[in-house]
Chains A and B, each alone.
Chain A
Amino acid sequence: MANELTGSCLCGQVTFRTDAQPITQLVCHCSSCQKQTGSSFSTIMGLPGDRLTVDGETKSYTSTGGSGAPLQRHFCPKCGSGIYSDVGVVPGMVMIRAGNLDDPSVFAPDAHIHCGQKSHWLDLGDAVIFDAAPGTASDLSDKIAKVT
């Protein structure tokens, strides 16, 4: 993967970059991600939050994630593109939205989560799938602690 990941929203008002390698790459099929994407799922990469630089104005909406912890979703107020989320269940981690990457082809999912709500027509083939979220929050917290 490139040394730096860069991206922007649809209108270009918000840009972001990170020099960190993602510690996880997920496809989330939960109903909240379906609502906010307007699509079937979100494609997300977990990074240490202090290694993500965001330029431009963002707005946020906070809801309760499947874990019960707060999930703060940051989006562009001009075009609506979802940019990243603060994931309360893994302090210090942010999830960037892969569709906004300048090169979205670098996204390669490790697993699909919340597949209990998956769109019926999607065939995930041999992918690693979980009905809900795997119990990896503590694993991810450990990984974040190692790189921050």
Chain B
Amino acid sequence: MTQNLNGSCLCGGITYECEAEPVMQVACHCTDCQKQTGSSYSTIIGVPAESLTVHGTTKIFTHNGESGGEVRRNFCGDCGSPVFTEPDQSPGLLWIKTGTLDNPQAFTPQMHVWCQSRNVWLDLGDVPAFATMPH
């Protein structure tokens, strides 16, 4: 089902519009996501790249992800909010950081990945959890 997935960074300098059916909804507990969020995991919704329109210029940090391949992390240079990520591992998909959605409650994880580095105090409930990335 197509959803409205509009959002913005904390300061409002970056906004985005998206009408899409999410391809996947994931909580990623890898150490890179912990570092970029400064928190326990990232919450991400994968959407077709052509469905996302971004207003404002993001800064991009590019590095090699734990799964191999480059990950381009787009964030707001004025407030630091991570906005979306482009991993080489999933060509054609962009991953919206769901904390920046106008309605962050639109996110419901289908799986937790990279749980080998997850915070032990977190209760992941009955949602499928994988030590690394399932194939």
Contacts and interface: CB of A to CB of B under 8 A. Distances in A.
A38 B125 CA distance: 22
Interface of A: 8-11, 31-43, 59, 61, 63, 73, 75-83, 97-100, 104-105, 107-109, 119-121, 123-125
Ordered nearest first, which 5 A-B pairs have the shortest CB separation?
A: A38-B97, A97-B38, A75-B80, A80-B75, A34-B99
A104 B41 CA distance: 11
A26 to B, nearest CB: 12
Nearest to A31: B104
B97 A80 contact: no
B107 A123 contact: no
Given A11-B63, A39-B43, 12 more contacts: A36-B10, A38-B42, A39-B99, A40-B43, A42-B37, A78-B61, A80-B75, A80-B82, A99-B38, A100-B35, A105-B120, A123-B123
Given A38-B100, A73-B80, A79 B36 contact: yes
Interface of B: 8-11, 31-32, 34-43, 59, 61, 63, 73, 75-83, 97-100, 104-105, 107-109, 117, 119-121, 123, 125, 127
A54 B78 CA distance: 20
Nearest to B44: A38
B96 to A, nearest CB: 9
Contacts of A77: 59, 77
Given A37-B99, A107-B119, A43 B39 contact: yes
Contact of B39 (A10, A11, A39): A39
Contacts of A10: 32, 35-36, 61, 63, 73
